[in-house]
Amino acid sequence: MRVKARFLVYVLFALLMLFSVAVVQAFAAVGCDLNDPDRDVARLFPDSTGYRTTYASIDKRGGEPLLRRVETRLGERFHGIYETIDVPYTIYAIYNGKRKVGYIHGVNQKGQFGGIQVFVALDMEGRIKSFYIQKMTSQWAKKLRGSRFGRQFTGLTLKDFEPYDPVTGKGSGKVAEIRNPAPEAETDFRAALRAVKKNLILMDEFVYATGEGKP
Amino acid sequence: MISRFQIAYKNLLRKKTRTLLTLVGIMLSSWVLVSLLGFNRGYEQALNRDIDNMGYQLMVMAKGCPYEAATMMLQGGTGLRYIEQSMVDSIVDKPEVDKVTPILMQAFFDPNKGDGGGIAGYFGIDPATFPAMKPFFRFRQGGWFRDDEAFEAVMGYEAAELEQREVGDMILVPEKNVQLKVVGILERTGTQDDGTIFAPLKTLQKISGIDKITTIGIKVKKDADSAKLEAALYQLPDVQVVSFTQVKETIMKLISTARVMVLSIAIIALLIAMVGVVNTILMSVLERKQEIGILKTMGAMPGDIFRLVWTETLILCASGGVAGIGLAFLFARLSDILVRRILPYAPGGELVAIDMRIACLTLAVIVVVGLLSGIYPAWQAGRVRPLESIRSEG
Amino acid sequence: MTARDGVSLEARGLTRVYRRGSEEIRALDGVSLTIRRGEFLSFMGPSGSGKTTLVNLLGCLDNPSEGELDLAGRSIFGGGKILGERDLTRIRREVFGYIFQNFYLIPTLTVRENVALPLAFYRKPGVEGEVERLLGMLGMEHRMDHLPGQISGGEMQRVAIARALVNRPEILLADEPTGNLDTKRSAEIGEILQELNRNAGLTIVMVTHNPGLARLGGRLIEMRDGRAYES
């Protein structure tokens, strides 16, 4: 008897664990956190000594006007039931001693078969140091999560992404030079680019333009 | 004019700090006691609610090492034990059975979920019988699949939220790389269904390459003899029967040891607080010996003095008790969060359910214990002889 | 309790013996006396003379080891009977009021509440309004809502007197009533006691060290080594 009941508790518990991420973020809208910030911060900023986590959302930082501005800069409206004005964004400010050395920020983006969690590590000028896909569901996920693809983003800034149009998937300048390593996953490739552009715009609005982006 | 109650209450005000500290002691112990009783009630209520929400009360599954199945879930892969689908027919005819539904549980490993990869869990269900088992399911978008061989899926609220899926989107079954179309997204249920992906049974069987099932969910007719049915089911070959009432009893037993321990601690806390009360009152009686003697010269009987001091004890305990209960009501939410952190399996809903009955019970306990402890100091006070207290020269 | 032949208290051969270990102390040694209604009697004597012991027995605060006491004709002590706390209390609250050297007012109650305190335990019929009347009579009506901490020593003793009289006792027992007061206040208290005795017919039995005060009453008894000597 006991053994059976324990089994059931394990099954229920296991199912609970399977979706523990979703359960934890069981609020109005789902945000995008690093699964293991201690490890990831050390990996993306090897000379860092610590980090501080803050949360921002469009509705709290500027409401409807801010949303319009972001959508205009992105070149596309926010759509769907998950890309809403109240989504919380997690911003990690990275420190070396008392000096700020950069930021890490992630956004959720709808991919072809599941959600894509796209993180960028930025320096104090807003240049991309690293590009990291924490989660993605696709047969070709390996290619888009590989270093050959990620390297193409290093050194790029928001300015480079401004000419990218997420609706058509076309751009010019440095952003047009980014190669898709998995042509079968064109939808997800474009989703990743949109995610980076949105990521950079939000960082500009929340951090760099406000004066928080000062060391 | 002054009443005896006012005399008692004003006596307590003479040493404000001392009275306050004693009050705090009683308040804390009454808070703990009432929160515990509330938790006892809340947990059982919530557990009952969770079990009702599962829809079926009995589950039949393959006999085998239970840990393998759990491990399967945790690591993904083989090791699951199956039962034949034909078993459904032998069960559905039993007189106690209301509804039956076959379920196939499968897990697939997704290497791209996080850095070490993760499991995706799927439930293969029969669209003809399963929805009837869960009549309280509501859809945020879309609805159930109707075709039992369609490559479609219904997602629980949180599963959909994590993947940013809406009706019409595709999902990919990892390992097998099969695409399913999302046709429904459920509203929150507060149970594990929120994290589950449902697909048609036949479809999942096709994808996994098995023609068996893992579980049969059984809804028992109201007022039917559940135990008799369980016994009958045991006769089926190679199966085990899990009853949720049993599960509930086992879970309750698992935490009952914890409950007894914590209840003992609460009682000890109460006794310690009471020792504080006795000490406070006794000290004040000793300090007031002269005054008590004078009261006796004014016509106060030993019984009057006894009642006076006893009233002081009553005021202390009642005020402390009421304050503690009030605090507990206020912090019931906080206690809820703390308890969930500690217990491994916490059902949904309000865990610490304090109602008037529990509050009155706690207050009664505290007042009674207080009055019992107050007997000795009050008796001592009553015995004071006026002469012992009034000493002047000669 | 009605008086008979105007006698309030009659004591015969009152003796009080204390045992300390194997030692026997005769605090009072066979004292007899009669107190009439309306008398103002003072006891004087050195420490240990037994004056307080005697007054305690007269005031039914204690049981004698030997001897008899009658109160208005009714036998209280005598014939070997020992009265318990409850019986003594019943007698006391009918007949006696007490004031002491240390006032013993309750610090968290106002003047008015202090005077009303005995009424919380026992109330004779017809004492409504006594609280205000007594405080007025003693010149304390403007202090009724003050706390003992806010009034002077002389005022506190007046409040104590009012409290002692609120249940209309027949006899007031005063143990060193001016012991904690200066000369001026002592004289004031003495005057008050005299007035109560003369105008209200209150029987007063007082213990004092103060010769001036002792003479106020008109009857003085000296105590020495447990025996009474009347002058």
Which tens digits make up the pLDDT trace of A88-111? Answer: 999 999 999 999 999 999 999 999
Q: Residue A20: what pLDDT? A: 39
Interchain CB distance below 8 Å, A7 and B69: yes
Q: In this structure, are residues B110 and A10 in contact, taking their beta carbons and an 8 Å threshold?
A: no
- Please state, rounded to an integer, the average pLDDT across all residues of chain B: 82
Mean pLDDT of B21-44: 85
Q: Which residues on chain B place their C-beta less than 8 Å from a C-beta of chain C?
A: 1-4, 6-7, 10-11, 13-14, 290-291, 294-304, 385-387, 390, 392-394
Residue A159, CA distances (Å) to A96, A127, A176, A192, C7 in order: 27, 10, 13, 17, 118
Picking from A19, A81, A135, the nearest residue to B112 by CB comes out as A135
Does residue C210 carry a pLDDT above 90? no
Q: In this structure, are residues A14 and B73 in contact, taking their beta carbons and an 8 Å threshold?
A: yes
Q: Give how far B210 is from chain A: nearest CA, Å.
A: 21
Higher pLDDT, A185 or B66: A185
Higher pLDDT, B107 or A42: A42
Interchain CB distance below 8 Å, C119 and B295: no
Interface test with C, best of B298, B309, B383, B388 (most C CBs within 10 A): B298
Does residue A190 carry a pLDDT above 90? yes
Picking from B7, B10, B294, the nearest residue to C104 by CB comes out as B294
Neighboring chain C residues of B387 at a CB cutoff of 8 Å? 56, 61-62
Lowest-pLDDT range, A142-151, B350-359, C89-98? Answer: B350-359
Q: Residue B67: what pLDDT? A: 37
Q: Contact partners of A by the rule of 3+ C-beta pairs under 8 A?
A: B
Confidence of residue A53 (pLDDT cuts 50, 70, 90): very high
Interface of B with A in 113-132 (CB under 8 A): 113-115, 118-121
Q: In this structure, are residues A181 and A148 in contact, taking their beta carbons and an 8 Å threshold?
A: yes
Mean pLDDT of A133-147: 88
Interface of B with A in 154-213 (CB under 8 A): 156, 158-159, 161-166, 169-172, 174, 177, 179, 188, 192, 194-196
Interface of B with A in 33-72 (CB under 8 A): 59, 66-67, 69-70
Q: Residue C19: what pLDDT? A: 85
Task: Kindly state the percentage of chain C with pLDDT values over 70.
Answer: 97
3-state DSSP of B162-224: HHCCCCCCEEEECCCCEEEEEEEEECCCCCHHHHCEEEEHHHHHHHHCCCCECEEEEEECCCC
Mean pLDDT of A199-208: 92
Mean pLDDT of B7-17: 86
B321-345 as b/e: b if 16+ CB within 10 A: bbbbbebbeeebeebbeebeeeeeb
Mean pLDDT of C33-39: 90
Mean pLDDT of B337-359: 72
- Please state, rounded to an integer, the average pLDDT across all residues of chain A: 84
Query: What span, in angstroms and rounded, lies between the C-alpha atoms of C128 and A19?
Result: 79
Interchain CB distance below 8 Å, A142 and B141: no
Interchain CB distance below 8 Å, B247 and A113: no
Residue in chain B lying closest to A21 (CA):
B162
Confidence of residue B345 (pLDDT cuts 50, 70, 90): low
Q: Contact partners of B by the rule of 3+ C-beta pairs under 8 A?
A: A, C
Mean pLDDT of C139-152: 90
How many C-beta atoms surround the C-beta of residue B65 within 10 A?
12
Interchain CB distance below 8 Å, B345 and A13: yes
Confidence of residue B389 (pLDDT cuts 50, 70, 90): low
Neighboring chain B residues of A134 at a CB cutoff of 8 Å? 114-115
Interchain CB distance below 8 Å, B345 and A141: no
B153-192 pLDDT, tens digit each: 999 998 898 889 999 999 999 888 899 999 999 998 877 7
Mean pLDDT of B192-212: 89
Q: Residue B264: what pLDDT? A: 86
Q: In this structure, are residues B48 and B42 in contact, taking their beta carbons and an 8 Å threshold?
A: no
Does residue B72 carry a pLDDT above 50? no
Q: Would you say how long chain A is, in residues?
A: 215
Q: Name the β-bridge partners of C222.
A: C44, C229
At B2, list the tokens: 């002054």
Whether there are 3 or more C-beta pairs closer than 8 Å between C and B is yes
Picking from A26, A35, A137, the nearest residue to B158 by CB comes out as A26
Q: Where are the alpha helices (DSSP H) in C43-119?
A: 51-58, 85-95, 111-116
Mean pLDDT of B16-24: 89
Q: In this structure, are residues B307 and B4 in contact, taking their beta carbons and an 8 Å threshold?
A: yes
Does residue A73 carry a pLDDT above 90? yes
Query: What span, in angstroms and rounded, lies between the C-alpha atoms of B74 and B378?
Result: 64
Which range, B349-353, C127-131, C148-152, has the best average confidence (pLDDT)? C148-152
Residue in chain B lying closest to A81 (CA):
B166
Interchain CB distance below 8 Å, C176 and B2: no
Does residue B140 carry a pLDDT above 60? yes
Q: Residue C160: what pLDDT? A: 93
Picking from B2, B13, B392, the nearest residue to C116 by CB comes out as B2
DSSP state of C10: E
Does residue A11 carry a pLDDT above 60? no
What's this model's pTM, rounded to 2 decimal places?
0.58
Interchain CB distance below 8 Å, B297 and C96: yes
The values of phi and psi at residue B118, to 5°, are: -155, 175
Mean pLDDT of A199-209: 91
Confidence of residue B71 (pLDDT cuts 50, 70, 90): very low
Q: Residue B51: what pLDDT? A: 66
Q: Give how far A197 is from chain B: nearest CA, Å.
A: 19
The ranges assigned to domains in chain A are 1-29, 31-208
Picking from B66, B115, B196, the nearest residue to A4 by CB comes out as B66
At A179, list the tokens: 């190669």
| Parallel/antiparallel/unpaired status of strands A89-96 and A99-110 | antiparallel
C39 φ/ψ sector (left φ>0, alpha ψ -120 to 50, else beta): beta
Confidence of residue B311 (pLDDT cuts 50, 70, 90): very high
Q: What is the ipTM of this complex?
A: 0.84
Lowest-pLDDT range, A85-89, B51-55, B116-120? Answer: B51-55
Which of helix, strand or coil describes residue B372? helix
Neighboring chain B residues of C163 at a CB cutoff of 8 Å? 298
Confidence of residue A25 (pLDDT cuts 50, 70, 90): very low
- Domains present along chain C, CATH in parentheses: 39-63+92-230 (3.40.50.300)
Q: Give how far B371 is from chain C: nearest CA, Å.
A: 22
Interchain CB distance below 8 Å, C108 and B304: no
Higher pLDDT, C21 or B206: B206
Does residue A9 carry a pLDDT above 60? no
Q: Give how far C44 is from chain B: nearest CA, Å.
A: 10
Mean pLDDT of C184-207: 90
Lowest-pLDDT range, A164-168, B107-111, B347-351? Answer: B347-351
Q: Residue B65: what pLDDT? A: 43
Picking from B73, B111, B247, the nearest residue to A15 by CB comes out as B73
Query: What span, in angstroms and rounded, lies between the C-alpha atoms of B16 and B253?
Result: 46
Picking from C50, C62, C120, the nearest residue to B4 by CB comes out as C120
Q: Give how far C4 is from chain B: nearest CA, Å.
A: 25
Does residue B16 carry a pLDDT above 80? yes
Interchain CB distance below 8 Å, C50 and B394: yes
How many C-beta atoms surround the C-beta of residue A142 within 10 A?
13
Q: Residue A106: what pLDDT? A: 93
Interface test with B, best of C60, C88, C106 (most B CBs within 10 A): C106
Q: Residue A205: what pLDDT? A: 92
The values of phi and psi at residue A135, to 5°, are: -145, 140
Confidence of residue B77 (pLDDT cuts 50, 70, 90): very low
Any chain B CB within 8 A of the CB of C100?
A: yes
